[in-house]
Amino acid sequence: MKTLHKLFLVTLVASLSFTACKSEKQAETTEETTRETTATEQKSEATENTATVVLNANLATAEELQGIGMSEELATKVIENRPYLTLADFAAQLGEDVSKENMYKKIFVPFNLNTTPEADFKQIPGVGDKMAHEFEEYRPYTSVAQFRKEIGKYVDEAQVEYYLNYVFVPVELNTASKEDIKALPGVGDRMTHEFEEYRPYTSMEQFRKEIGKYVDDKELARLERLVYLKN
């Protein structure tokens, strides 16, 4: 009888241990599935057109504008009314008859990653609630490399590069690296050199004076939007 009792206890303990292990594995599987589902949902928000060239509304030529379907008249109007410091300014030039949703797949005014409201990020083609939240979640961004690292957790490298058509990380004039300055929309080697040449900047007025030697007032206004000075 004692033997049977001991056998019953051993069987009971083994059964409870098996049940506990099974429950733990099920919990781990559920958690892993949840993570994968979240990642899949975020990737599903991303547009498939990662190879599409997205023009900058402040930099595109008349030929490029007509190449994406603008009439000659509208292309001329867009160029004449630059710079566009906000997407809304650009949208106002397009008029009511143009589909903004379709146009933004081809041309855009890049958003400042550190100041743009989360809701506005959803104007970027393929960006929904979840990805807009991730864009906002990692603020403040100090470099494009940081954006690539953080958003690269959710989408592949090609998709991250696609997003960079639509956003930029503003640079601090006195401390930004050459690579971060060159990552700004429409800033190449020559202008990067000029940005560095006049360091240290003591005011934005100094920036306007020095860089204004090389560009007109419209381009200066566009460039000023991309930079800042620490207080």
For the chain (231 residues), the mean pLDDT of every run of 10, in chain order, is 50 50 52 49 51 89 97 97 97 94 97 98 97 98 97 97 98 97 97 98 98 98 97 78
Q: So where are the chain's domains?
A: 52-109, 111-169, 171-228
In this prediction the pTM is 0.80
Give which of 110, 52, 62 is closest to 86, Cα–Cα.
110
pLDDT of residue 34: 42
DSSP letter at 46? S
pLDDT of residue 1: 52
pLDDT of residue 231: 78
Select the CATH number that applies to the domain covering 52-109 from these four: 3.20.20.210, 1.10.150.320, 1.20.120.80, 3.90.1310.10.
Answer: 1.10.150.320
pLDDT of residue 60: 98
Beta carbons of 207 and 150 less than 8 angstroms apart: no
Quickly name the fold that domain 171-228 has.
Answer: DNA polymerase; domain 1 (1.10.150)
CATH architecture of 111-169: Orthogonal Bundle (1.10)
The CA dihedral of 60, 67, 55, 58, to the nearest 10 degrees, is 30
pLDDT of residue 10: 47
- Amino acid present at 66: Q
The three-point CA angle 45-46-50 to 5° equals: 165
